Structure 1
Amino acid sequence: MERSREDEVRDRMADIAGPDPGPAEQALLGRLIRSYLEKTPAAVDRLGELLRGGDPAALREHAHAMKGSASNIGAATLSAVLAEVEQAAREGVVLDPDLTLGRIACEQALVFPILEKLAAGG
């Protein structure tokens, strides 16, 4: 059975702060999540530039960093999409920019509300 994105994110947050985080751990999670939410739009914009620019080496590095960030907050499906971008670039292939960015946007639309709720203490 497929786990929900919320389950994936909540499980990752529990890995970081424990199953019953106190105020200090909650504050840490809030900072981590807010940082991710603030930095990701610019990172996606840069990914789009690299996809359209066709530079596999730079694309691979950027996708790798984004994959790690997504994984760190528990966005497993988003991380998997970025892993595909990274692997294709490693092989010298630049994936279709519109299709790839669309997939990323869909995942963000599913994950960002979960993260926003958690950052607000929910």
Structure 2
Amino acid sequence: MEHSREDEIRDRLADIAGPDPGPAERALLGRLIRSYLAKTPANVDRLGELLRGGDTATLREHAHAMKGSASNIGANSLATVFAEVEQAACQGIVGDPELTLGRIACEQALVLEILEKLADADEAQVPFRS
């Protein structure tokens, strides 16, 4: 059975806080989600700058950090794209910036929509795991 992006994110959040999080765990998840929502657009902008002309070492480090952030919230497809950028940079290769940023934008839009929905669900005390 295939897991949707939302299932992957919900499963990861449940791994962090348990299937029925209490107030402290919900607060932690809320901070995690809001931090990701706040920081990701600027981090993607920076990645774009690096893809268009930064050195591969800085690109690799930035892509690695973004991969970790995406993995931490269960955004596995987005983490995979960042991992590909990181791996290419390790080899001294910078892929086509527009193609790469297009892939990231598509995945990011899906992830941010899910996280916004889960942040709203958290405020309504809805369980993170379906």
TM-score range, shorter chain: over 0.9
Instruction: Name the amino acid aligned to 1:59.
Output: L
Query: Per-residue CA shift, 1:66-90, capped at 9, x if unaligned?
Result: 0000000110000000000000000
Shift of 1:54: 4.4
Identical-residue share of aligned pairs (%): 81
Question: 4+ residue runs of structure 1 moved beyond 6 angstroms?
Answer: none
What is the CA–CA distance in structure 2 between the aligned matches of 1:27 and 1:117, rounded to whole Å?
16
What is the CA–CA distance in structure 2 between the aligned matches of 1:114 and 1:43, rounded to whole Å?
19
What is the CA–CA distance in structure 1 between the aligned matches of 2:92 and 2:47, rounded to whole Å?
16
Contact (CA 8 Å) 1:54, 1:94: kept in 2 or not?
A: no
Shift of 1:2: 2.8
TM-score (norm. length: structure 2)? 0.91
What RMSD, in angstroms, separates the aligned Cα atoms of the two structures?
A: 0.9
- The total of aligned residue pairs comes to 122
Query: Per-residue CA shift, 1:34-82, capped at 9, x if unaligned?
Result: 0011000110000000000041111000000000000001100000000
The gaps in structure 2 that reach 5 residues or longer are none
TM-score (norm. length: structure 1)? 0.96
The gaps in structure 1 that reach 5 residues or longer are none
What is the CA–CA distance in structure 2 between the aligned matches of 1:30 and 1:113, rounded to whole Å?
15
Which residue is 2:46 aligned to?
46
